[in-house]
Amino acid sequence: MNQSHYSFDDCSCGIPDFPSTLKEQAKMALEMREQGIKDGTRTEGCPVWDKLSKNLWVRILNGELDEMEADKESQRVMAHCETCRHPMCVKALFGDVEPKV
C-alpha cells in the first residue's frame, strides 16, 4: 500500500487519503453529505438515521464528544436500524440477503 494513504500527502494514484483523526473523519462525512446534496448524487436514506448521524458528526466537530463517547453514540445510531423498517436500515443489517421474518 502506498505510504501516502496514511496521511494527507499528495499521491498520484487517485485514491483519496482517509482522514486519520475522528474530527477529520466527521468533517469528511459532512462534506461528502453536503456535496452529494448539492450535486444530486446523494441517495435519500432513512430520515431518522440521517438526522442521528449528522448530529453525531456535528457534535464530534464541535468537540462535544471524545472518541469513547463518539463510539458509544455511533453504536446507538447504528442500533436504530435494528428496529427500523426503512429499506436503507434493512440493507445495513442484512446486506442483499432478504431478512427472514
How far from 36 is each of 2, 75, 88, 92, CA to CA, in Å?
28, 24, 17, 19
Report residue 47's pLDDT band, with 50, 70 and 90 as the boundaries. Answer: very high
* Cell numbers standing for residue 94: 442484512
pTM, entire model? 0.70
Residues 96, 99: Cα–Cα separation, whole Å: 9
Over the stretch 57-94, which tens digit does the pLDDT of each residue have?
A: 999 999 999 999 999 999 999 899 999 999 888 888 87
* SS3 state at 62: coil
Mean pLDDT to the nearest integer, 32-56: 89
